[in-house]
Amino acid sequence: MKKRIVLLPGDGIGKEVMNSAKEVLSAIAEEFNHTFNFETHEIGGAAIDSYGTPLPETTVDACKQADAVLLGAVGGPKWDQNPSHLRPERGLLGIRKALDLYANLRPVKGFKKLLHASPLKEEVISGSDLLIVRELTGGLYFGTPSERRNNGQDVVDTLAYSRKEIERIVDKAFQAAQGRRGRLTSVDKANVLESSKLWREIVEEKKTQYPDVVVEHVLVDAAAMKLITNPTQFDVIVTENMFGDILSDEASVLTGSLGMLPSASLNESGVGLYEPAHGSAPDIAGKGIANPLAMILSAAMMLRYSFNLNDEAKLIEDAVEAILDSGFHTADLKVQNGRQVGTVEMTHLVVDYI
């Protein structure tokens, strides 16, 4: 198989962990006789510094021609005071919109060896394995008008959705539930928001097409509680952009190993952007201690979701599990009596396993 992969390292530890993903993918290519052509482009703060914009056109063009995109992370204190259109996050929002990456998949699953680092009691978190499906290109983060009014005395943002936008993400979530334990929790605020009412109607309409999936509706405030009190009750959670932003970050800390969580953002044609759930961690950037595993597991998600290379994906996931089981860990993972390694050494452990 021959694939064109665009690498967007971005800022902070993004560059370091991207190198790790590339090495691991090269090992996979060699082992399974694939050809992966890599092309690196700028996004976020790095792009602002070199091109004066967080999302240069060359980056967008390259991504549009790619079979898949890997992204490290964007942002850092250097650009925090910039005006809106010159903020690193704009690059991320822009590429999501440009590629129409409407479906953000965030799996959250504990690693046995790491559960002790969870802020939750072991009996609460143990056994949890959920997938948040977040709508990523609509809602409050993209709706217009989004502006000041009356000389800056008033301000307005707009939460807008079309029926089609809701239908496609709901379909995606039903399909994901079919491939998992067959349970779907739709999260909304249907007791208050008109958009949530439409959302709930569409979920109800769609469920007749997926008779093998059991559906429940939970209000967003209740969902924020249940994720903590009883995370094992969830299989797939589907929700709109902003609720998904909050709930997926909330969920990401439950297992105690944010540095291990990958994510995928997909469009209708199967092209995807894959990135770790963690940020650019400017405080540890350049020190060689960043945990590359979330980035490496994101590459595994790419193999599975965009290239349908399930064996290859599984090999990477098995490698990670085995390495953790033998006690290796990076500085962020507080493993007792383990052996702490840096970014490069952890990467080599994965490559060697492959």
Ligand X SMILES: CC(C)[C@H](C(=O)O)[C@@H](O)C(=O)O
Residues annotated as part of the active site:
141, 189, 221, 245, 249
Among 33, 81, 153, 209, binds a copy of itself (CB under 8 A): 153
Label residues 110-142 b or e (16+ Cβ within 10 Å = b).
bbebbbebbebeeebbeebebbbbbbbbbbbbb
Q: Strand 103-109 and strand 129-135: pairing?
A: antiparallel
CB-based closest residue to ligand X: 89
Q: What's the min distance (Å) between Cβ of 10 and ligand X?
A: 11
Q: How many residues does the chain have?
A: 354
Confirm or reject binding of residue 132 to a copy of itself (CB under 8 A).
no
322 part of the interface to a copy of itself, by CB under 8 A: no
The least distance separating ligand X from the CB of residue 274, rounded to whole angstroms, comes to: 12
Check the annotation: does 56 bind a ligand. Answer: no
Six token digits for residue 315: 């090999």
The residue within the footprint of a copy of itself, chosen from 120, 131, 271, 273 (CB under 8 A), is 120
**Of the candidate residues 1, 214, 246, 335, the single one contacting a copy of itself (CB under 8 A):** 246
Q: Residue 158, interface with a copy of itself (CB under 8 A)? A: yes
Which amino acid would we find at residue 23?
Answer: E
Pick the binder of a copy of itself from 181, 197, 207, 348 (CB under 8 A): 197
62 labelled as ligand-binding?
no
- Listed ranges 5-13, 175-183, 194-202, 293-301: which one lies at the site for a copy of itself (CB under 8 A): 194-202
Q: Say if residue 284 carries a ligand binding annotation.
A: yes
Number of residues that bind a copy of itself (CB under 8 A): 55
Nearer to a copy of itself, 242 or 335 (CB): 242
Taking the CB of residue 216, how many other CB atoms lie within 10 A of it?
12
Residues 6 or more apart whose Cβ sits within 8 Å of residue 244: 104, 132, 133, 134, 135, 136
Strands (E), 240-307: 262-266, 272-276
Residue numbers at the binding site for ligand X (CB under 6 A): 89, 92-93, 191-192, 221, 245
At closest approach, how far in Å is the CB of 238 from a copy of itself?
A: 17
Q: Is 143 in the site for a copy of itself (CB under 8 A)?
A: yes
**Selection from 155, 138, 142 nearest residue 198 by Cα:** 138
Q: Is 276 within any annotated ligand binding site?
A: no
Integer Cα distance of 275 and 95 in angstroms: 13
Count of Cβ atoms closer than 10 Å to residue 254 Cβ:
20
Query: Which helix or strand (DSSP H or E) is residue 322 part of?
Result: helix 310-325
Quick check: 189 binds a copy of itself (CB under 8 A)?
yes
CA distance 301 to 68: 11
184 in Cβ contact with 174 (< 8 Å):
yes
322 binds, among a copy of itself, ligand X, none (CB under 5 to 8 A by kind): none
Establish if 2 lies at the interface with a copy of itself (CB under 8 A): no
Q: Three-state SS string across 37-81, please?
A: EEEECCCCHHHHHHHCCCCCHHHHHHHHHCCEEEEEECCCHHHCC
Least distance (Å) from ligand X to the CB of residue 239?
13
Nearest to 128 by CA among 226, 232, 251: 232
Known binding residue 4? Answer is no
> Does 336 participate in binding a copy of itself (rule CB under 8 A)?
no
Distance CA 30, CA 138 (A): 39
52 is in an annotated binding site: no
Does the protein bind a copy of itself through residue 221 (CB under 8 A)?
yes
Q: Answer yes or no whether residue 89 interacts with a copy of itself by CB under 8 A.
A: yes
- Residue ranges for the known binding site are 76-89, 96, 106, 134, 221, 245, 249, 279-291
Question: Which residues lie near a copy of itself (CB under 8 A)?
Answer: 84, 87, 89, 93, 118-121, 124, 140-141, 143, 146-148, 152-164, 189, 191-195, 197-198, 220-222, 224-225, 228-229, 242-243, 245-250, 252-254, 258
